[in-house]
Amino acid sequence: MPRSAGPDTIRAMSTELWLDYLAILLDSRKAEGLGFVVNFVIPDKDERFILELSNSTLTNIPGFQAPNADLTVTINRADLELVMMRKATFASQAAAGHARLDGNAKVLEQLLGCLSSFDPAFEIMPGTKGPAAAAPAKN
């Protein structure tokens, strides 16, 4: 299966689309009872976002900043792309001086704890995956 999240794909993905992707990965059962607001600032692209976890739903609002956010993450796009590719974390980027985390950085850990992964080859409709591989014959 081809890798769909290679560096070129990540670079072509908008920040808003990546935040939408995080919302798709959110397991609402794990997020139950949690809530936070994170401001994202991408200064080199002049982008601003509010990321909010509320009612087991993750949403983002482009172009705005929340006045009382739990956390504000400031990171340039190239440094964010390393996080998007899972080659770095926000904490490691902050430790290296490539990001600034103002506020409660534990909300990022909460968010990561609520994300799930899924098989990209899932059945879109039941029965469309094809027949299971036949078991080898016993001699």
Q: What tens digit of pLDDT does each residue of 105-123 get? A: 999 999 999 999 877 677 7
C-alpha span between 133 and 138 (Å, rounded):
15
Q: What percent of the chain has pLDDT over 90?
A: 73
Tokens standing for residue 64:
């705005």
Q: Please check whether residue 63 is in contact with residue 28, taking contact to mean a CB–CB distance below 8 angstroms.
A: no
Output the pTM of the full model.
Answer: 0.82
Mean pLDDT, all residues of the chain: 89
Indicate the DSSP class of residue 68. Answer: T
Q: Please check whether residue 115 is in contact with residue 25, taking contact to mean a CB–CB distance below 8 angstroms.
A: yes
C-alpha span between 67 and 62 (Å, rounded):
15
C-alpha span between 70 and 103 (Å, rounded):
6
- 54-103 pLDDT, tens digit per residue, is 999 999 999 999 999 999 999 999 999 999 998 999 999 999 999 999 99
Task: Of 6-10, 24-28, 48-52, give the lowest mean pLDDT range.
Answer: 6-10
Reply yes or no on whether the pLDDT at 135 is more than 60. Answer: no
Which residues neighbour 16 within 8 Å (Cβ) at sequence distance 6 or greater? 49, 60, 62
Question: pLDDT category, 132, cuts 50, 70, 90?
Answer: low
Identify the pLDDT of residue 118. Answer: 73
Identify the pLDDT of residue 40. Answer: 98
Reply yes or no on whether the pLDDT at 134 is more than 60. Answer: no
Identify the pLDDT of residue 6. Answer: 78
At the second CATH level, the architecture of 7-113 is 2-Layer Sandwich (3.30)
Identify the pLDDT of residue 127. Answer: 80
